[in-house]
């Protein structure tokens, strides 16, 4: 048997973050209709198709967000960060849509990027952060 304790990781990417949600259809509607994400997957599985794997993502993103029913706990309580090159414009866009639990104004923590937070209907948190300059 080989000793892998000092071997480098083979993991190359963060591909899927996961939120627990009460209702996958309602969550899918929120992320696609309110936030403008695209559906990347919606598959039934299990012996009789009783389970469902749903993935959404911002257009052009390689990372995805899975919207899963709770397995052993209550839905909600997770946090992800997403990036934009224009925090103020994205805040104004989401505010104009309405029906989104959104911080009143973007903020900047000392030494940090401009950002704001929103919450989905299950109280999962999405931090919208100014993307670092390309370089």
- Decide if 72 is inside a domain: yes
Task: Give the pLDDT confidence of 35-93 residue by residue, as tens digits.
Answer: 999 999 999 888 887 889 999 999 999 999 999 988 777 888 899 999 999 999 999 99
Residue 25 vs residue 1, higher pLDDT: 25
Task: Give the pLDDT confidence of 7-20 residue by residue, as tens digits.
Answer: 676 667 778 999 99
Domain CATH for 81: 3.10.180.10
- Decide if 65 is inside a domain: yes
Q: Tell me the two tokens of residue 131.
A: 């993307």
Residue in the block written with tokens 């925090």: 87
- Comparing CA positions, the residue from 118, 17, 29 lying closest to residue 66 is 17
Q: Provide the number of structural domains found in the chain.
A: 1
Gap between the terminal Cα atoms of the chain: 43
- Decide if 7 is inside a domain: no
Range of the domain at 26: 16-130
- Decide if 88 is inside a domain: yes
Q: Tell me the two tokens of residue 115.
A: 């950002």
Q: Tell me the two tokens of residue 33.
A: 């209709």
- Decide if 11 is inside a domain: no
In which region does residue 19 sit, left (phi positive, over 0), alpha (psi from -120 to 50) or beta (all else)? beta
- Decide if 3 is inside a domain: no
User: What pTM value is reported for the model?
Assistant: 0.80
Give how far the C-alpha of residue 3 lies from the chain's centroid of Cα atoms, to the nearest Å.
Answer: 36
- Decide if 22 is inside a domain: yes
């Amino acid at each position: 048997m080989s000793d892998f304790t000092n071997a480098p990781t083979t993991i190359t990417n963060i591909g899927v973050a996961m939120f627990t949600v009460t209702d996958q259809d309602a969550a899918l509607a929120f992320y696609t209709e309110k936030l403008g994400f695209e559906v990347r997957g919606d598959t039934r599985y299990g012996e009789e198709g009783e389970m469902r794997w749903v993935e959404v993502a911002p257009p052009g993103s390689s990372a995805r967000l899975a919207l899963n029913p709770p397995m052993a706990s209550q839905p909600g309580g997770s946090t992800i960060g997403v990036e934009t090159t224009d925090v103020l414009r994205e805040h104004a866009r989401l505010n104009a849509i309405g029906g989104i639990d959104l911080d009143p104004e973007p903020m900047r923590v000392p030494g940090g990027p401009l950002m704001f937070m929103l919450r989905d209907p299950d109280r999962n948190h999405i931090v919208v952060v100014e993307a670092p300059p390309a370089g």
